[in-house]
Structure 1
Amino acid sequence: MLQLLQQYFGFSTFRAGQEKVIQALFAGHSAAAIFPTGSGKSLCYQLPALHLPHLTLVVSPLLALIQDQLEFLQSKGISAASIHSLQTPAESSQVYKDIAGGQVKILFISVERLNSERFRLFLKKIPISLLVVDEAHCISEWGHNFRPDYLKLALYRREFNIPQVLLLTATATQKVIADMGNKFAIDADNITLTGSYRANLNLSVLGVGSFDKLNTLLPWLDDRKQQAGIIYVTLQKTAEEVAKQLSSSGVPAQAYHAGMNGEQRQSIQQQFMSGELPLIVATIAFGMGIDKSDIGFVVHYDLPKSIENYAQEIGRAGRDGRPADCLVLANKNNLNTLENFVYADTPEPSAIDFVLNEIGQTNGQWEMVMNSLSSESNIRLLTLKTLLVYLELEGLLQPAYSYYAEYKYKLLVPEQVLLERFKDERYNFVQAILQSSNKARTWATIDFEKMQSLYPSDRKRVITAIDYLDQQGLIELQSKQMTQVYRVFKEALNGNLRELLVQRFNEKEGNEVQRIHFLLDFFASDQCLNLQLAHYFSDNNLQQPCGHCSVCAGYPAIMPATPVLLPLKKTDFEELSAEIRRKLGSQTTSVLLARFFCGLITPVFTRLKVRSVKGFAVLEKYRFGEVKAWVEEHLL
């Protein structure tokens, strides 16, 4: 272990927790590492990957994180690769070839890549030593960033016969840690927590009104001119506005958010990493996987989404071990907005009915396209994925497989040249694929039904064949319209199921709203900020006040009074709702109107392009429940 550490990474000793995790993997066990952001979780799989005989497969949530890890490993002479949607067909084809040839030790993918039938068929042919799940708290619905696709990873582990698993995260409560360990059968002795407290981070909270934030921030930044920093905001438009205001005040800053194109984001990120650009004003799209050690401060211009988000985001500061400042400009002005985002994710009972009816009409097997079902049921995409996971947990659905409904290809060599690569039965098989395809001028589409009548073949064999042709550079392959296939167990479709689902989403909604209130109470507290964080994350290393947060310094945050809103009864419902009610027609419900007034987007609103409709988001600062009650009064 120490020899590999010195040879590849240039270190003579391990950081806290690393050695225990790596030893568990060397001994053939599965393990979990819960280390604070910036404390070296990645080494826990990078080093074992060099020792293990086969491929290490890393599931990671963000392309930026993957790219950063790839560059690091390649600079150390470690063969690593990724497969992602931004690659050209030639680039991904080369990666497939390298993996098949055993030339790649570490492969990075997103969890969504495993929805690809083509990719799963490929993986089944590759021996894999270790599955690594980064941001592993996403596995647990009790975590702050639950991603339903992550729930399937335990199934994939069995499907690909992967002997060992490593789970990595910076933020997990005791409940989430137990959930992660149970799902992957990890022995409690092989779950390592190093504690969340970092003594070099100085946490401060200031109670500041919305209109005073910039005036408060400018002198604070003036004392930190030579440092690199990140300012976090909630909305994309706020990122643009604050960056512009800072620049016009003589503080060079750039906005960064998911609304920018990939090239823009990459360029800004590179400028920041190189030190050319000292300050980024970003939504939470920025920062995951950013391995910049000299970030001297992190400012939350708006409140973070949760305690877990806060811990992750401040964790990007001070990775070089030097003191770093973490400031929150806090008020309760956008409490209603934060709460309202939660209400946008709860499906209406009628929407749940729609999905259950769709399933009920099937004959033991259900095929669906996620985007289409989201639009038809008016359930947001992530919420729909969560609903389907709940239906799996209730025994109604079992994922069978998923496939692309359409495979298109274009020939990169003349047809006869391609066929000459094969002999006898294989020649006839490949010729049948080409002959049964529906040809346009450049692209041809695989017709599986026509292929069956011309040359009866297993669908998997056809996909494996065209995948091989793509890898060999004989065709360029494209696939689209992902179709999910489930087995349906109708005995679970009982009268209680709908009510149980409604209750479960309501509980989830309540939990999320509670988290927001906990967050605000945390920032307004007169207790040591670091000690509260330590208790929240089950860290027993810190047993007394830290002595260097704003509360310990004698300055607990005093929240300014929130602005008084005009009573809703003084708002003209008929005038504001006329146009949207006309557009919605029979689909009009009190929940939909309340979401419209609060500026909360649902699939039906996207389809109707409601952002330009009179009344949209006009009540975004009001509480959703109050707006809904006001709407119901007028609809009676």
Structure 2
Amino acid sequence: MSSDYDLASEDEADLIAATTPSVDKKRKLDDIETGNDLTVKKVNTGPSPSIPLANRVLRERFGLPSFRLKQEAAIARILDGESATVVFPTGAGKSICYQVPAVAFRIQDQETGSRAPEFSGVTLVISPLIALMKDQVDALLKRKINAAVLNSSVSRDHYLATQEDLRLGRLDMLYCAPERLNSEGFIASLKAIPGGIRLLAVDEAHCISEWGHSFRPDYLKIARFAQEAKVERVVCLTATATPKVAQDICKAFNIPSEGLFTTTVYRPNLRLLAQTSTTHTDDVGRLASFLTKHPGPTIIYVTIQKGAEMLAGELVARGFQARPYHAGMNTDVRTKTQDNFLASGKMIVVATIAFGMGIDKPNIRNVVHFDIPSSIESYSQQIGRAGRDGLPSTCLFNLSTKDFYLRNIFTYGDRPSDRSLRLLFKDICSPERQNLKAGDIFEVSLYHQSRDVDIGPTTLGILYAHLELHYKLFRSAGALYTDYKYKPQNSRLISSDESPSARAIVRASVTKGKWTQVSLDDVATSTGIARMDLVRKMDEWNERGAIELEKRGVLNTYRLEKPLPSDQEEIDIMIKELDAGMAEKERQDLERTTALIDLVTDKKCFSRSLAEYFGESGVDMPNECGHCTWCETHEQVVLPDEPPQPPDPEKIKRILSVVKVRDDPRLLAKIAFGIKSPRIGAMKIYNTGVFESMNVCDFMELVRIFTEECAREGGGSHGDG
């Protein structure tokens, strides 16, 4: 059972495991201890002795004749015991850089006699992409390579079987999401793996860097985990990293410059085109004309889910075989769409960024950006999915001023207001929690807190990660479930269970319709039986087929590192610092969009500009590629002059008359601009006629005006800069 926070039914089992004594099998071999320094200090005097083994594994287990680009050099470094950062463009074969070593470790151990098979350890792969993990594991299993995945999509039986394989040293590779490292129980099980973690592979590693285009704070915890779990070596992989981002990645894992392997982003078979349109242009008509002239499998990227549905429908009406794809669709429908696309020679997928990660389709002929992507990194990564077979492919960038509105929704919508930050700290540092000591655990429903303080779930997660990593107030300790209900499947098994936990659960159960509900917190309080014992009993019944169990209501748990702050001045400083950090992120996001626009509107070759953005100043290519809009026409792509409109005073008055709150100027600006939030939804503003009534204005100008209005009416002087 998954949740909004990618937690699954096994998360509580992880927390239980952390409190259960276990034998540390990992430490049975004295010669496999590793230190905290992830880099092995040694001098290379010639070709790596690991190269023959790497090539043998590649041929015999993966069926490939030879390595490409810098794969061999990176793999040799890893097999020689050192860490590496791999920056290869989309489709250049990054996964081979950890899959080959994962298989080779066991062979190395066998040939050297250094370890018994059950102590060969495991390669742990951290990836945020559930679909990609499943696809890779399925492919590895077909090659008889022992791999498994643990994420919110797996069944409890699969979870338990995987844990057993880990304990017995039977796995070569284990895939999991970075959020999994929030669980104390899961971390404890990884530390106890016989032979330890031989290699930690961090996919989408640009998420580690706060300068990266899709920074994810949970990624910052990976380096901490690597030290605490004493992993032997690390390989960080990404398709998009500027020199600054690559430096951040290497610094996080103490990887020296010689451990950085990069290849050019230049693709000579990609034709990079760009066109501009105004608010009156028939963008769909132009797109249909392009698709008619450029047939073949095509991905069209849009910004929002509704846009994917609408555009796909319009293309179908014009006779194209088009299908939408986005994260809000049913999983089975998404899977069928992806499978059909992989098999088709002409299908068009209109998708949000949810589509394309790990898609192994070499003959994608076109990639179209119908809406403006978020950054040069996103653009580069997405066009990299075209023409992996080396044949000519076309990438079209449609640049329209109306798309800036959508980009601004994402940019400005993430930053919480001053009011929201103060409410958050008031909740976290409540009087009862201020009495807690270091080591104590407190629980929070992030779902409810997000709604109460008016901060979106993603941003709330970022703030909690900062409180954990930068201020070291607490550590995430996993998750619990508040609501348990079940359907009896074998009443005899339940009635014959005479344990105190079983009797207490049965006495407290209340049947409503098909389901029987029980409050484990109430049972624990009234009987004195530990909640953990009650959870174990219900999981045991579920595993034995006595009941069909459903858990809901996620509570995130945190273990205090030190007492929570009670001094208001200290809290104010933290709020100010966090707000400054969110403002900087907002500025960076705006700059990324600007950099992308500048690239396609400059009087310069697109391909060379891309290469230079990623630090390839001496790239081995001509000054002009000959296959982009600039090189083909030498005419500048000009952005239409459609500046934001000045705020209409009558519309300002209308919003202030409909919306009575004056405690949050940024909230009023969001209503005017059309940015949704938990509080706005609860206020039922969306259908009043004022929501999105000023989406042609500059957002920060709206913030300024509403800040003045709130101050004038005495609703609070806190604004947002």
Does TM-score exceed 0.5, indicating one fold? yes
Find out whether 1:537 has 2:614 as its counterpart: yes
- Superposed CA deviations along residues 151-185 of structure 1, whole A, max 9, x for unmatched, are 11223334444322221110011121121122222
Find out whether 1:253 has 2:322 as its counterpart: yes
Residue 577 of structure 2: aligned partner: 500
Shift of 1:368: 2.2
Shift of 1:536: 1.4
Residue 633 of structure 2: aligned partner: 554
Shift of 1:444: 7.1
Report the CA distance shift for 1:162/1:268 in structure 2 as closer, same or farther (over 3 A): same
Distance 1:387 1:76 in 2: 42
Report the CA distance shift for 1:494/1:240 in structure 2 as closer, same or farther (over 3 A): closer
Shift of 1:277: 5.6
Residue 484 of structure 1: aligned partner: 557
Correspondence 1:378-457 to 2 at 5 A: 378-399=454-475, 401-406=477-482, 408=484, 431-437=499-505, 438-441=508-511, 447=520
Distance 1:86 1:166 in 2: 26
Distance 1:292 1:206 in 2: 27
Find out whether 1:220 has 2:286 as its counterpart: no
2:138 alignment partner AA: E
Residue 420 of structure 2: aligned partner: 351
Shift of 1:557: 4.1
Distance 1:460 1:57 in 2: 28
- Superposed CA deviations along residues 568-606 of structure 1, whole A, max 9, x for unmatched, are 336433334433x14xx4x64221111011111122123
Correspondence 1:234-383 to 2 at 5 A: 234-275=303-344, 278-360=347-429, 361=431, 362-363=434-435, 364=437, 365=440, 366-383=442-459
The question of whether the paired residues in 1 share the 8 Å contact of 2:651 and 2:693 is answered with no
Shift of 1:627: 2.3
The question of whether the paired residues in 2 share the 8 Å contact of 1:436 and 1:446 is answered with no
Shift of 1:264: 1.5
- Superposed CA deviations along residues 79-104 of structure 1, whole A, max 9, x for unmatched, are 32223323344444444444445443
Correspondence 1:76-95 to 2 at 5 A: 76-95=143-162
The question of whether the paired residues in 1 share the 8 Å contact of 2:277 and 2:401 is answered with no
Distance 2:647 2:98 in 1: 56
Distance 1:630 1:409 in 2: 50
* TM-score normalised over the length of structure 1: 0.88
Q: For residue 594 of structure 2, give the secondary structure of its aligned residue in structure 1.
A: helix
The question of whether the paired residues in 2 share the 8 Å contact of 1:117 and 1:403 is answered with no
Aligned length: 621
2:66 alignment partner AA: T
The question of whether the paired residues in 2 share the 8 Å contact of 1:200 and 1:324 is answered with yes
Residue 588 of structure 2: aligned partner: 511
Percent of residue pairs bearing the same amino acid type: 33
Report the CA distance shift for 1:485/1:415 in structure 2 as closer, same or farther (over 3 A): farther
Report the CA distance shift for 1:279/1:456 in structure 2 as closer, same or farther (over 3 A): closer
2:474 alignment partner AA: Q
Distance 2:198 2:485 in 1: 33
The question of whether the paired residues in 2 share the 8 Å contact of 1:121 and 1:464 is answered with no
1:377 alignment partner AA: V
Shift of 1:43: 0.8
Distance 1:146 1:378 in 2: 22
Distance 1:630 1:553 in 2: 46
Judge which range, 241-250 or 588-597, deviates more: 241-250
Distance 2:397 2:653 in 1: 41
Report the CA distance shift for 1:474/1:172 in structure 2 as closer, same or farther (over 3 A): farther
Q: CA RMSD in A?
A: 3.1
Report the CA distance shift for 1:215/1:177 in structure 2 as closer, same or farther (over 3 A): same
Residue 626 of structure 1: aligned partner: 701
Judge which range, 245-254 or 443-452, deviates more: 443-452
Judge which range, 287-296 or 52-61, deviates more: 52-61
Residue 423 of structure 1: aligned partner: none
Question: Which of 168, 171, 174 pairs up with 1:104?
Answer: 171
Residue 128 of structure 2: aligned partner: 61
Judge which range, 93-102 or 382-391, deviates more: 93-102
Distance 1:465 1:27 in 2: 47
The question of whether the paired residues in 2 share the 8 Å contact of 1:432 and 1:454 is answered with no
Residue 719 of structure 2: aligned partner: none
Distance 2:166 2:533 in 1: 20
Q: For residue 630 of structure 2, give the secondary structure of its aligned residue in structure 1.
A: coil
- Which structure has the higher relative contact order (CA within 8 Å, separation 6+)? 1
Shift of 1:280: 0.8
Correspondence 1:74-153 to 2 at 5 A: 74-127=141-194, 128-153=197-222
5+ long unaligned stretches in structure 2: 1-53, 106-119, 713-721
1:524 alignment partner AA: T
Q: For residue 12 of structure 1, give the secondary structure of its aligned residue in structure 2.
A: coil
Q: For residue 610 of structure 1, give the secondary structure of its aligned residue in structure 2.
A: coil
Residue 205 of structure 1: aligned partner: 274
Question: Which of 602, 605, 608 pairs up with 2:677?
Answer: 602
Report the CA distance shift for 1:41/1:205 in structure 2 as closer, same or farther (over 3 A): same
Q: For residue 552 of structure 1, give the secondary structure of its aligned residue in structure 2.
A: helix
Question: Which of 79, 84, 90 pairs up with 1:31?
Answer: 84
Q: For residue 686 of structure 2, give the secondary structure of its aligned residue in structure 1.
A: helix
Residue 16 of structure 2: aligned partner: none
Residue 3 of structure 1: aligned partner: 56
The question of whether the paired residues in 1 share the 8 Å contact of 2:501 and 2:529 is answered with no
2:605 alignment partner AA: C
Question: Which of 55, 69, 74 pairs up with 1:16?
Answer: 69
Question: Which of 610, 616, 620 pairs up with 2:691?
Answer: 616
1:193 alignment partner AA: T
Correspondence 1:560-599 to 2 at 5 A: 560-563=639-642, 567-569=646-648, 571-579=650-658, 581-582=659-660, 585=661, 588-599=663-674
Distance 1:248 1:495 in 2: 56
Shift of 1:417: 8.9
The question of whether the paired residues in 2 share the 8 Å contact of 1:401 and 1:484 is answered with yes
Shift of 1:41: 0.5
2:226 alignment partner AA: R
Q: For residue 395 of structure 2, give the secondary structure of its aligned residue in structure 1.
A: strand
- Superposed CA deviations along residues 371-408 of structure 1, whole A, max 9, x for unmatched, are 22222221122222222233334425131523314484
Distance 1:304 1:576 in 2: 31
Shift of 1:141: 1.5
Distance 1:160 1:419 in 2: 42
Shift of 1:512: 1.5
Find out whether 1:525 has 2:602 as its counterpart: yes
Shift of 1:304: 0.9
Distance 1:215 1:432 in 2: 70
Distance 1:24 1:418 in 2: 59
Judge which range, 44-53 or 265-274, deviates more: 44-53
